[in-house]
Amino acid sequence: MPAANGLGFETDLEQGAEVFRFSSYYGDHMVLQKAPAKAVVWGFGQTGAKVVVLLSEPHKVSASSALVVNGIWRTTLKPVEAGGPYNLTAFQSTTKSSITLTDVLFGDIWICSGQSNMAFTVSQLINATEELAMASKFPNVRIFQAALEQSNEELIDLAGVEVPWSRPTAKLLGGKPFSHFSAVCWLFGRYLYKTLNYPIGIVETCWGGTPVEAWSSPRALHKCGLKSSETSVPYSPRPVESNLFLNISEKWKSSVLWNAMIHPLLNMTITGAIWYQGEANTNYNRDEYNCSFPGMIDDWRMAFHEGSGGQTALDFPFGFVQLSTFHKNDQHDGFREIRWHQTADYGFAPNERMKNTFMAVAIDLPDDKSPWGSIHPEYKRDVAHRLVLGARAVAYGEKNVSFQGPFPSQTVLNQFLIRIVFNQDINVTLEDDFFEGFKCVAVDNIYNVNKARPNRPDGGATAIKNASVNAVRYLWTDWPCKFKACPIYSSDGLLPAPPFILAISKQ
């Protein structure tokens, strides 16, 4: 029978828990969370033994200790500033044995999770050769990848490790498609390192074709009125998008990836997380995604905070990618609704429901020539760059960093004129139909809004034929724009306005 370990988890002592070792996600070359947070270190040992942990560098040694309770020991290190390398040694009193981890750095740790667009590897990038050649130039961006595992019960430790903590190499970042190492995760870490100039640890734990329910705890699903269930992911893929890439024949039980690939990481002190998922929910519990996704974020935050003994912030920053494109001329594949629900129906992030989040808009990055299918765009550099802008502004509080595209602050109908006021200066495409895709939604009809003229800095206005409209929507199709050619961008032309559907105020 599993025995309580005193840390809120259970472990089976008959499965080798008394072997003296670190937990699976500690190892040579790892990154531990830097000050002001304290890094948690834990592992398995002989019940009743005392474990002393030493952190050493050439001119400094610090120690902490813990007792082994029900086969598990755990200690929290003193705060350590960014840098290294250190040696981390654990001694067990009863067996007089020791384990030493070398080349340990302190910096910021980010979790990378989601489905196949997060699993999309560096070798699949459109500029893969160039990117892989740069890998060795960033030895202080360390990578770790959890193995693909499912469980019906919450695991205390990872059941498998695909890539142990490592310095980056072309071989580790490349490999087979959708197996080694996440392009978005790597690029996010690399770009962040260039900004912060101290060690970054990136932890990939993702699985293609998975719905948000598989990554959510039962308590999080319960709060959204969702029950534990088994489902097949209902894609309608093109021939190139085989089961190898999307796992479309896989049946997913709720919480099986939370149990096996998130729960074991909870003791880790982290800075934040990034997420690329939603495709699998376009036709599965789609209308509940505005609850299930922010609910999952809330639950992860609470669980990591408690699991780390309060060292991971209760509101740790969480970045995500708003979905790009899949089918052209398809109003029924669910992408437009999921994009909206990804923001808890606010249209932007952060917002009142999703505080301390940041969003990378990807609707202007379609890729109908991707060898991995249009649902897997190759242009992950832009996605990672936009995520890092959000991290710099939200997670690190950097001032004067533009990370959000324009969003309407007011939509007003005055007789036969719609006036849309944006929250920032805008850069628009000056063509007669540059508002193509802008649609006013009446009670029974949809009216196209074309031939609008921009009114900088605060928006555009257009005449309509029917004053009974009650809402306006923008980019409300699966594939509304050509590559980096949506109608509205920030004034510097870099960040697209996200799609929206908003009620109209009347004057």
| CATH number of the domain where residue 351 is located | 3.40.50.1110
DSSP reduced 3-state for 63: strand
Identify whether the C-beta of residue 440 lies closer than 8 Å to the C-beta of residue 471: yes
pLDDT at 451 over 50: no
Q: What per-residue confidence (pLDDT) applies to 192? A: 98
Residue 163 and residue 288 in one domain:
yes
Q: Residue 115: what are its φ and ψ, rounded to 5°?
A: -115, -145
pTM of the model: 0.89
Is 450 part of a structural domain of the chain?
Answer: yes
Is 403 part of a structural domain of the chain?
Answer: no
Q: What per-residue confidence (pLDDT) applies to 180? A: 81
265 torsion bin: left (phi>0), alpha (psi -120 to 50), beta (else): alpha
241: confidence class by pLDDT, cuts 50, 70, 90: very low
Each residue of 196-212: pLDDT tens digit? 999 999 999 999 999 99
Residue 114 and residue 82 in one domain:
no
Provide the residue type at 221 as one letter: L
DSSP-derived letter for residue 143 is E
Identify whether the C-beta of residue 41 lies closer than 8 Å to the C-beta of residue 77: yes
DSSP-derived letter for residue 262 is I
| Percentage of residues of the chain with pLDDT beyond 70 | 82
Each residue of 345-402: pLDDT tens digit? 999 999 999 999 999 999 999 999 999 999 999 999 999 999 999 999 999 999 999 9
Residue 367 and residue 328 in one domain:
yes
Look up residue 62 and give its two tokens: 């610090």
Neighbours of 293 (CB within 10 A): 26
Q: What per-residue confidence (pLDDT) applies to 5? A: 34
Residue 290 and residue 316 in one domain:
yes
Domain count, the chain: 3
Q: What per-residue confidence (pLDDT) applies to 230? A: 63
User: What is the Cα–Cα distance from 502 to 439, expressed in whole angstroms?
Assistant: 11
Residue 246 and residue 110 in one domain:
yes
- Rg (the chain; Cα; Å): 24
Neighbours of 247 (CB within 10 A): 22
Is 400 part of a structural domain of the chain?
Answer: no
Is 306 part of a structural domain of the chain?
Answer: yes
Nearest to 117 by CA among 350, 329, 365: 365
Q: Residue 258: what are its φ and ψ, rounded to 5°?
A: -55, -45
Look up residue 470 and give its two tokens: 């009650």
Each residue of 120-144: pLDDT tens digit? 999 999 889 999 999 999 999 999 9
For residue 471, list its beta bridge partners.
441, 503
Q: What per-residue confidence (pLDDT) applies to 6? A: 32
pLDDT at 162 over 70: yes
Structural domain span for residue 69: 3-102
Residue 52 and residue 134 in one domain:
no
pLDDT at 454 over 70: no
Q: What per-residue confidence (pLDDT) applies to 17? A: 47
CA 226 to chain centre: 22
333: confidence class by pLDDT, cuts 50, 70, 90: confident
Is 129 part of a structural domain of the chain?
Answer: yes
Nearest to 24 by CA among 318, 263, 313: 263
DSSP reduced 3-state for 453: strand
Mean predicted lDDT score pLDDT of the chain: 85
pLDDT at 236 over 70: no
Q: What per-residue confidence (pLDDT) applies to 175? A: 78
Query: At which of 50, 85, 102 does a domain end?
Result: 102
DSSP reduced 3-state for 288: helix
Nearest to 473 by CA among 418, 431, 414, 415: 418
